[in-house]
């Protein structure tokens, strides 16, 4: 808890902008920067991310999920955060209960529900951050407030996920460094 409080004191964001959240036909929340597919072809999504020099983020959600709603209404209305996310990543959504097909990079096909299960996604939202070749860099289960959510993405962008250090120790180390720079 102390880490969270310290992080929020160092990572500040502008107040969320008021915006009515729209739902897609499947009940998931819509964002203009999240790719929409009639069929999820993971290889195409990875190729698109790689071509644009970005990683791929898969948001696992479900209809009626209050924490998914909070992710969209609280975090994704913070322009500074969404600008950072979209600068570094391409986004797609998967409904953990859907029978829509996912075509994996190896050509195998399974339902979105089976794909979520294969990745041990049990709650929503779950944010899965992958590099451009499909290696999972971070799996962030549940809702995290905007400053912590951004820090998780910075962890990946800044190479923390490849350093062998897990997210929380990386965040502590980073916080200590910021405190030292500020003389405190």
pLDDT, tens digit, for every residue of 107-141?
Answer: 899 999 999 999 999 999 999 999 877 889 999 99
Question: What is the DSSP secondary structure assignment for residue 117, as one 8-state letter?
Answer: H
Burial-class residue 78 by CB neighbours within 10 Å (0-12, 13-18, 19+): buried
What are the pLDDT digits (tens) for 163-176? 889 999 999 998 89
Torsion of CA 36, 154, 159, 142, to 10 degrees: -60
The edge-to-edge listing of strands for the beta sheet with 126-130 is 34-35, 89-95, 55-61, 126-130, 136-141
For residues 151-167, give the mean pLDDT: 93
3-state class (DSSP) for residue 153: helix
Query: Does the structure show a pLDDT above 50 at 3?
Result: no
CA separation for the pair 173, 7 (Å, rounded): 11
Banded model confidence at residue 38, pLDDT cuts 50, 70, 90: low
Closest CA to 98 of 49, 38, 142, 42: 38
Banded model confidence at residue 37, pLDDT cuts 50, 70, 90: low
The predicted model scores a pTM of: 0.83
Q: C-alpha distances in angstroms, 72 versus 28, 124, 148? A: 10, 12, 15
Cα maximum dimension of the chain: 54
For residues 145-151, give the mean pLDDT: 95
Query: Does the structure show a pLDDT above 60 at 19?
Result: no
Banded model confidence at residue 7, pLDDT cuts 50, 70, 90: very low
Q: What mean pLDDT, rounded, does the chain reach?
A: 85
Domains of the chain: 23-181 (3.40.30.10)
C-alpha 116: how far from chain center: 15
Instruction: Give me the residue label for tokens 């190479």.
Output: 159
Query: Does the structure show a pLDDT above 60 at 20?
Result: no
- The pLDDT, as a whole number, for residue 10 is 42
């Amino acid at each position: 808890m102390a880490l969270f409080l310290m992080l929020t004191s160092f990572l500040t964001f502008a107040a969320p902008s008021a915006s009515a959240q729209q739902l897609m036909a499947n009940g998931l929340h819509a964002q203009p920067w999240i790719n929409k597919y009639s069929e999820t072809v993971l290889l195409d999504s990875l190729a698109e991310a790689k071509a644009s020099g970005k990683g791929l983020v898969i948001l696992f959600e479900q209809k009626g999920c209050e924490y998914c709603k909070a992710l969209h209404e609280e975090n994704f209305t913070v322009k500074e955060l969404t600008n950072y996310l979209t600068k570094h990543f391409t986004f797609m959504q998967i409904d953990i209960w859907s029978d829509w097909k996912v075509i994996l990079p190896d050509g195998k096909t399974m339902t979105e529900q089976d794909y979520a299960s294969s990745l041990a996604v049990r709650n929503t939202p779950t944010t899965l951050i992958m590099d451009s070749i499909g290696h999972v860099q971070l799996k962030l289960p549940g809702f995290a407030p905007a400053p912590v959510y951004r820090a998780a993405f910075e962890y990946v962008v800044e190479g923390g996920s490849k350093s062998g250090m897990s997210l929380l120790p990386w965040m502590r180390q980073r916080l200590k460094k910021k405190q030292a720079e500020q003389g405190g």
